Structure 1
Amino acid sequence: MEVDPPFHETYKALFPDFMNCITGSDHKKPNSMIEEYKLPLIDLSHLMMSNPDDQYHKEVMKESCIREIVDAASNWGFFEVVNHGIPEQVLKCMKHEQKKVFHQPFLEKSQKNVLNLSPNSYRWGNPKATCLNQLSWSEAIHISLTDISKMNNTKYNNLRLAMEEFSNRAFSLAKHLAEILAGNLGLRSSYFEENCPPNSSYVRLNRYPPCPHSSKLQMFGLVPHTDSDFLSVVCQDQVGGLQLFKDGRWVAVKPNPKALVINVGDLFQALSNGVYKSIRHRVVASSGESERFSAAYFYCPNNDAKIESCSHRQTSLYRHFTFREYKSQIQKDVQDTGDKVGLPRFQTSIFL
Structure 2
Amino acid sequence: MVASENDSKHANQAMRMHESADPPFETTYKRLLEKVMAAPEVSGVAECELPMIDLNELKMGELSKRECKKKMAQASQEWGFFQVVNHGICKDVLEKMREEQVKLFAKPFSDKAAYKGSYRWGTPSATCLAQLSWSEAFHVSVSDLLSSLNFHPNLSSIMRQYARMVSELSQKLVEILASELGQKSDFFKEKCVESTCYLRLNRYPACPISPDMFGIMAHTDSDFITVLHQDQIGGLQLVKDGSWFAVKPNPQALVINIGDLFQAWSNNVYKSVEHRVVANPVYERFSTAYFFCPSYDTVIASGVEPCVYKSFTFVEYRKQVQQDVKFFGHKIGLPRFLLQTH
Normalized against structure 1, the TM-score is what?
A: 0.89
The superposition leaves residues 90-148 of structure 1 with CA deviations (integer Å, 9 ceiling, x where unpaired) of 11111000000000111111114xxxxxx441000011111111110000000000111
Q: CA deviation at 1:198?
A: 1.2
Q: Measure, in 1, the Cα distance between the counterparts of 2:303 and 2:237.
A: 29
Are 2:123 and 1:126 aligned?
yes
Partner AA of 1:74 in structure 2: Q
Match in the other structure for 2:27:
9
Partner AA of 2:222 in structure 1: S
1:224 maps to which of 218, 243, 246: 218
Match in the other structure for 2:97:
94
Match in the other structure for 1:52:
none
Match in the other structure for 1:161:
157
Q: CA deviation at 1:177?
A: 0.6
The superposition leaves residues 16-64 of structure 1 with CA deviations (integer Å, 9 ceiling, x where unpaired) of 3333x34xxxx1163xx31100000110011133xxxxxxxx1111001
Are 2:249 and 1:255 aligned?
yes
Q: How does 1:203-242 map to 2 (within 5 A)?
A: 203-215=199-211, 218-242=212-236
Q: 1:214 to 1:15 in 2, by over 3 A?
A: closer
Q: CA deviation at 1:188?
A: 2.3
1:65 maps to which of 56, 59, 68: 68
* Count of aligned pairs between the two proteins: 324
Q: CA deviation at 1:236?
A: 0.5
User: Residues 212 and 287 of structure 1 are in contact (CA less than 8 Å); yes or no, is this contact kept in structure 2?
Assistant: yes
Are 2:97 and 1:106 aligned?
no
Q: CA deviation at 1:149?
A: 3.1
2:168 maps to which of 160, 166, 172: 172
CA RMSD of aligned residues (A): 1.4
Q: CA deviation at 1:152?
A: 5.4
Match in the other structure for 1:336:
327
Match in the other structure for 1:296:
289
Q: CA deviation at 1:348?
A: 1.3
Match in the other structure for 1:190:
186
Q: CA deviation at 1:213?
A: 2.0
User: Residues 226 and 258 of structure 2 are in contact (CA less than 8 Å); yes or no, is this contact kept in structure 1?
Assistant: yes
Q: Measure, in 1, the Cα distance between the counterparts of 2:203 and 2:240.
A: 25
Are 2:302 and 1:309 aligned?
yes
Partner AA of 1:139 in structure 2: E
Match in the other structure for 1:18:
36
Match in the other structure for 1:116:
none
Q: CA deviation at 1:214?
A: 2.5
Match in the other structure for 2:45:
34
Q: CA deviation at 1:13?
A: 2.2
1:324 maps to which of 310, 315, 324: 315
Q: 1:208 to 1:151 in 2, by over 3 A?
A: farther
Q: Secondary structure at the match of 1:130?
A: coil
User: Residues 151 and 160 of structure 1 are in contact (CA less than 8 Å); yes or no, is this contact kept in structure 2?
Assistant: no
User: Residues 174 and 185 of structure 2 are in contact (CA less than 8 Å); yes or no, is this contact kept in structure 1?
Assistant: no
Q: Measure, in 2, the Cα distance between the counterparts of 1:250 and 1:267.
A: 23
Q: 1:280 to 1:29 in 2, by over 3 A?
A: closer
Q: CA deviation at 1:151?
A: 4.5
Q: Secondary structure at the match of 1:349?
A: coil
1:272 maps to which of 248, 266, 275: 266
The superposition leaves residues 266-308 of structure 1 with CA deviations (integer Å, 9 ceiling, x where unpaired) of 00000001000001000000012x1100001000000011100
Q: Secondary structure at the match of 2:34?
A: helix
Q: CA deviation at 1:184?
A: 1.4
Q: CA deviation at 1:150?
A: 4.0
Partner AA of 1:73 in structure 2: S
Partner AA of 2:158 in structure 1: A
Identity of aligned pairs, percent?
A: 51
Match in the other structure for 2:58:
47
Ranges in structure 1 where 5+ consecutive residues have no aligned partner = 50-57, 113-118
